[in-house]
């Protein structure tokens, strides 16, 4: 808990990311609300038939990116996966660039070539092939080391990706070379349609400690608990200029991609009690909360209107 939370300067709309000086609880709530409503908006646009392809929403996991981003700063680099919208929005706030990209517009982040899973922005990249981004993030960390800069490379993976062999090649390398790389593992319990019990042997944290990597592990959807764990993990990396692992056991409240949820309905319903927006929302005064929700709604509506006009 040594790191001081820093707010990155963002390019996004203040209604989505918060004005400078907004109290922390309100800011965290606003950003989670922003990501939630962005994902729901994208899904609605799919239903409407104005989007094609695929998307992987992070509904239920918003606290991970928002809590972590409190501790990252300019000069750091994030590498994300197929479920990258929340990470990207928490880092940049750029709803317009991402929505334009997903809607295949030339004004999108990658001119519509990348789409939902393959995006690039300053300090941020994503790719949709499981595990393959992990060594790339290690390479970026090695670049930071060779340059003598103090940037931290961060890579996001899910529990399903622990099936990929290249992850373990990279864990070995990052530990061996003590690279400034933070692995953020979001364990949402389900790898697409397959429960963790059918996918993973042994213990998740032990996979990392076997390589001598320091692990901070938390089971929560509370953004303040994620924030605290992220503070600890990031501080470890910064102090040693070396590697670290943050394991967050969370839950995906939405389907894997689109209309492909065959998980037990009671299980998902029970998990809505831990909806990160509800868990944290009670910390924000009802009037403030309503104002935030209204602002997010307006900003996203403006964003959709602008993108539709492209």
- Rounded CA-CA distance 124/247 in Å is 20
C-alpha atoms less than 13 angstroms from C-alpha of 10 in its C-beta half-sphere: 25
- Of 43-82, binders to another protein (CB under 8 A) are 77
Query: Counting contacts by CB under 8 A, is residue 141 touching another protein?
Result: yes
Query: Counting contacts by CB under 8 A, is residue 135 touching another protein?
Result: yes
**Shorter beta-carbon distance to another protein: residue 139 or 281:** 139
| Least distance from another protein to the Cβ atom of residue 124, Å | 10
- Of 145-174, binders to another protein (CB under 8 A) are 146, 153, 165-166, 169-170, 172-173
Contact 247, 253 (CB under 8 A): no
| Least distance from another protein to the Cβ atom of residue 207, Å | 16
- Of 175-204, binders to another protein (CB under 8 A) are 176-177
- Count of Cβ atoms closer than 10 Å to residue 108 Cβ: 22
Contact 198, 227 (CB under 8 A): no
x/- letters, 86..115, toward another protein (CB under 8 A)? -----------------------xxx-xx-
Query: Counting contacts by CB under 8 A, is residue 213 touching another protein?
Result: no
**Measured CA distances, 120 to 16, 111, 113, 194, 309 (Å):** 20, 11, 11, 30, 23
Residue 115, sorted as left (phi over 0), alpha (psi -120 to 50) or beta, turns out to be left
For another protein, the binding residues (CB under 8 A) are: 77, 109-111, 113-114, 118-121, 125, 127, 129, 132-144, 146, 153, 165-166, 169-170, 172-173, 176-177
């Amino acid at each position: 808990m040594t790191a001081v939370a820093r707010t990155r300067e963002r390019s996004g709309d203040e209604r989505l990311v918060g004005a400078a000086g907004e109290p922390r609880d309100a800011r965290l709530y606003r950003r989670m609300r922003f990501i939630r409503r962005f994902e729901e908006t994208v899904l609605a646009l799919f239903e409407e038939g104005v989007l094609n392809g695929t998307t992987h929403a992070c509904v239920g996991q918003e606290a991970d990116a928002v809590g972590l981003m409190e501790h990252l700063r300019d000069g750091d680099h994030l590498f994300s996966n197929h479920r990258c919208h929340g990470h990207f929005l928490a880092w940049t706030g750029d709803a317009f660039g991402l929505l334009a990209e997903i809607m295949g517009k030339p004004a999108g982040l990658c001119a519509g070539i990348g789409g939902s899973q393959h995006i690039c922005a300053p300090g941020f990249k994503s790719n949709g092939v499981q595990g393959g981004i992990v060594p790339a993030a290690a390479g970026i960390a090695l670049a930071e080391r060779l340059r003598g800069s103090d940037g931290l490379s961060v890579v996001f993976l899910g529990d399903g990706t622990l099936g990929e062999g290249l992850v373990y090649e990279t864990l070995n390398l990052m530990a061996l070379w003590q690279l400034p790389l933070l692995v953020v593992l979001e364990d949402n319990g389900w790898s697409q349609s397959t429960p963790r019990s059918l996918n993973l042997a042994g213990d998740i944290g032990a996979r990392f400690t076997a390589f001598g990597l320091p692990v901070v592990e938390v089971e929560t959807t509370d953004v303040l608990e994620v924030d605290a764990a992220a503070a600890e993990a990031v501080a470890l990396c910064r102090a040693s200029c070396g590697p670290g692992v943050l394991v967050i056991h969370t839950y995906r409240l939405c389907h894997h991609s689109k209309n492909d949820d065959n998980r037990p309905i009671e299980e998902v319903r029970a998990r809505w009690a831990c909806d990160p927006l509800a868990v944290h929302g009670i910390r924000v005064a009802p009037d403030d909360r309503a104002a935030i929700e209204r602002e997010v709604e307006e900003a996203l509506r403006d964003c959709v209107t602008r993108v539709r006009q492209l």
